[in-house]
Amino acid sequence: MKKLLLTLLMTSSCAMVFAKSTVDVLATGGTIAGVASSASSTTYKAGSLTAKQIIDAVTGLDNLANIKYEQIYNKDSGDVTLSDWVKLAVAVQKAADNSNVDGIVITHGTDTMEETSYFLDLVVKTKKPVVLVGSMRPATAISSDGPLNLYNAVAVAASPKADDKPVMVVMNGDILSGRTATKTNTTSVQTFKDVNYGPIGTVTMGNVAIDPTVIANKNTFPVKISSDTVLPNVAILYGYAGVDDNMWNKVLETPGLKGIVIAGAGDGNIPSYEGDFLKKARSMGIVVVRSTRVGSGNVTYDYNDLDTQYDLVDANDLNPQKARVLLMLSLMKTNNSKEIQKYFNTY
């Protein structure tokens, strides 16, 4: 186990021998497990290789840690469902509760990694490192980024420096908070960024540096996930000039809809002619959160009087896809907009 002093050899000088950490790699698919017909093809099938195959491809991984692995599912992350999130959260919590495991790495597609990372950050209760990793180029590509990303992710998960931190995303040498990491480029290997606050650390060929002042994982969000959890249905509506009122109203007919996140223009702005839509949604008990399509910055509370006028929730610094995750989990506790606003101010 990590940090466990195994032997203290008394010689002319003292030599301390530490045991290797054990890292559990939970594989879910993505481009890191992707296979193309040629090394330069842009067409490939994500989620083709198994956990064992992607681990075996990384030279020296077993020098960093003892590696365990599990295949949770194997798919393109664009196909991940809410029940897949539940299954993964249960598996991560189980690994975290295993006293023989020191850190957890989740291999994942990059397209929806930012949602999974925030979801796990909210629901998994542990002080052990939990790290998500993927790649932008499939395993068969020229200069695939997967092997080094996985090597670095295991180094972070095995490092005592990563204890008691938020769930992390490790990509292309950056260590990012899973709450705020977002995919910013369609194809570049330097795609994951924290657009508001920057990375919390770096990892270079397995050498881990993490800002020691980064706050500990609060582990306090009041929702636990079990295998029978059903996550509430929350939609995202995109704001643009000339929003089609009929289209937005049609969304209210979605069976079981419990919440809506609006990716508003600018500071979470919503067309004034959508007032009736907002009133109707609220009268149906649907909680509406104002986020922004801008890509960085906070949404200002009560911009244009929208929150008090229509009893809306402001998303704080969460982009629409992350605001959806928090709204889903908040709705498992309450549908009171004031209580939900407190969650958005805190988590």
Binding site for ligand ASP (CB under 6 A): 30-31, 46, 76-78, 109-111, 134, 136
Best CA proximity match to 130, nearest among 162, 84, 171, 87: 162
Whole-angstrom Cα distance, residue 250 to residue 169?
Answer: 36
| Minimum distance of ligand ASP from residue 135's CB (angstroms) | 6
Q: How many CA atoms lie within 13 A of 197 on its CB side?
A: 16
Catalytic residue among 22, 28, 31, 140: 31
Dump the DSSP string for 134-150: --SS-TTSTT-SHHHHH
Using Cβ positions, the residue closest to ligand ASP within the complex turns out to be: 109
* Residue 74 vs 335, nearer CB to ligand ASP: 74
CA distance linking residue 47 with residue 87, whole number of Å: 17
Partners of 5 in the β-ladder: 18
- Give the largest CA-CA distance in the chain: 82
Q: Which is nearer to ligand ASP, 102 or 115 (CB)?
A: 115
Of 274, 314, 260, nearest to 290 by C-alpha is 314
Rounded distance between C-alpha atoms, residue 182 and residue 114, angstroms = 5
Q: How far is CA 340 from CA 130, 143, 242, 319, 343, in A?
A: 26, 45, 29, 16, 5
Tell the smallest beta-carbon distance from residue 64 to ligand ASP (Å).
23
Closer by beta carbon to ligand ASP, 46 or else 91 = 46
In whole angstroms, how far apart are CA 306 and each of 11, 338, 345?
72, 14, 17
Rounded CA-CA distance 161/2 in Å is 11
Helix, strand, coil in percent for the chain, rounding step 5: 30, 25, 45
Q: Supply the minimum distance, in Å, between the C-beta of residue 32 and ligand ASP.
A: 6
Q: Alpha-carbon distance 94 to 108, whole Å?
A: 18
**Across-strand partners of 175?**
170, 201
Question: To the nearest whole angstrom, how small is the minimum distance from the Cβ of residue 210 to ligand ASP?
Answer: 24
**Which C-beta is closer to ligand ASP: that of 46 or that of 208?**
46
Query: Are 124 and 92 contacting, i.e. CB atoms less than 8 angstroms apart?
Result: yes
- Name the residue nearer to ligand ASP (CB basis): 109 or 129: 109
Minimum CB separation of residue 89 from ligand ASP in Å reads 18
Q: Catalytic residue at 31?
A: yes
Closest to ligand ASP by CB, 140 or 159: 140
Considering the complex, what minimum distance in angstroms separates the CB of residue 123 from ligand ASP? 21
* Residues noted as catalytic: 31
